[in-house]
Amino acid sequence: MSAVKRVWSYGRWVALAGSLALLAGLMRDRLALLLLSPNGDFLQYWAAARLTLQDENPFILERVYALWRTTGWTADWALVMYNPPWVLALMLPLGALPAQMAWGVWQGLLLWVVFIAAGLSWRWYGGEARQQWVGWGLALTFMPALIAVRSGQLGTLVLLGALLWVAGVRYERAGLAGAGLALLTFKPHVLYLFWPAVLIWAWKGRRWQPLLALAGWLGLGMGVPTLFHPSLLGEYVQAVRTQPPSLWISPTWGTFLRLIWGPEYFALQFVPPAIGGAAYALYVWRRNASWDWLKELPGLILVSLITRAYGWTHDLVTLIPVVMAVAAPAARADRRTQLTLALGYLGATAVMWAGELALPQGDHWLVWLPLWWAGYYAWARRMLDKRE
């Protein structure tokens, strides 16, 4: 081995160690936050569930804020839940608990879902069961996963829904596939390209059972909280109609269109998903005969996140299957390829953490993150394909 190659070989290991040290430093403060008191993202669900159990309107800001204050909340703002009301079927048991206890249970559940999603994706994309710990480790260093658990938001359940849908289709379990779609409706705008893809897949193959199962799950989800508060659905429709989320500044390209042309042009928020949805529907229609949900999943996730109308950084937890689609085959590659891909992953992750911690306050400054990971995925897959 020449001197140059020897230096390069040793240098990569030094760079890997340095990247790990940098990543640990960037993550330190965020990891500590996981044990703190519940935040507003979680309290909006908890308060909505508690008010529903008390047969009260869960979409009145004043009542929500008053309930938040009983938990020790001192800020002068609160959040009303805009997710579909059938989400409350899952949240009602938490609403019956004190906020701090509910927060601990909820974080434990979300962390468990992250581990399940990482392990399942790892095996689906060819990773060996004995090396599953690699997938878990990657999930725990993935910034959106930690932020999703810390926030208590529902993006983690959307990720689970995507995987349940794929599992239900692969193993021909319509009820499981329908349950996956039901979880996707918790935040239907995040992985919104599932909806045209599912409809085209069902139409061309006359596969209606998963959609019937979806209707059943949604009926159950709506029926349970309605038993406690019969006027729930009407109140939700009224809240969305009179108080739409038109002032939210989310990390999406539609938001930046509105910042450029004027925030009053609410329709601009939906230009990227309109273009992305139409283009992706055409793509699905042409490829439907050879459609493979597992193979198409990384691209579907990436394009959805890049072009979505609304969403936040914690919703990027749905990228875990994209990471595993690289990591699992990389585990079978030669050592040089593994090291190069590991450096790329750590570098991409460090840049993501640095952007989260160093950019001006406001989640919208992280709008580039889905594009960043799309670039990493394309580069990594090209490298792996050359060596197969």
Q: Which residues contact 95 (CB under 8 A, 6 or more apart)?
A: 46, 47, 48, 49, 50, 51, 52, 53, 88, 102
Give CA 49 to chain center in angstroms. Answer: 22
Residue 281 to residues 60, 184, 199, 267, 276: CA-CA distances in angstroms? Answer: 38, 18, 10, 21, 8
Give 131-180 pLDDT, tens digit per residue. Answer: 889 899 899 888 889 889 988 989 999 999 999 999 999 999 999 999 99
d(C-alpha 186, C-alpha 218), whole Å = 10
- Taking alpha carbons only, the member of 98, 311, 350, 356 closest to residue 342 is 350
pTM here?
0.88
- Taking alpha carbons only, the member of 264, 267, 274, 261 closest to residue 189 is 274
What crossing angle do the helices spanning 320-330 and 293-307 adopt, rounded to 10°? 130
d(C-alpha 317, C-alpha 329), whole Å = 20
Give CA 234 to chain center in angstroms. Answer: 28
Burial of 14 (0-12, 13-18, 19+ CB in 10 A): exposed
Q: Which residues contact 365 (CB under 8 A, 6 or more apart)?
A: 251, 355, 359
d(C-alpha 100, C-alpha 384), whole Å = 46
Tokens coding 360: 């001006």
Mean of pLDDT values over 287-294: 85
Give 176-217 pLDDT, tens digit per residue. Answer: 999 999 999 999 999 999 999 999 999 988 999 999 999 999
Q: What percent of the chain has pLDDT over 70?
A: 88
3-state helix, strand, coil in the chain (%, to 5): 75, 0, 25
Q: Are 121 and 319 in contact (CB under 8 A)?
A: no
Give 336-379 pLDDT, tens digit per residue. Answer: 888 888 888 888 888 888 777 777 777 778 888 899 999 999 99
d(C-alpha 151, C-alpha 170), whole Å = 32
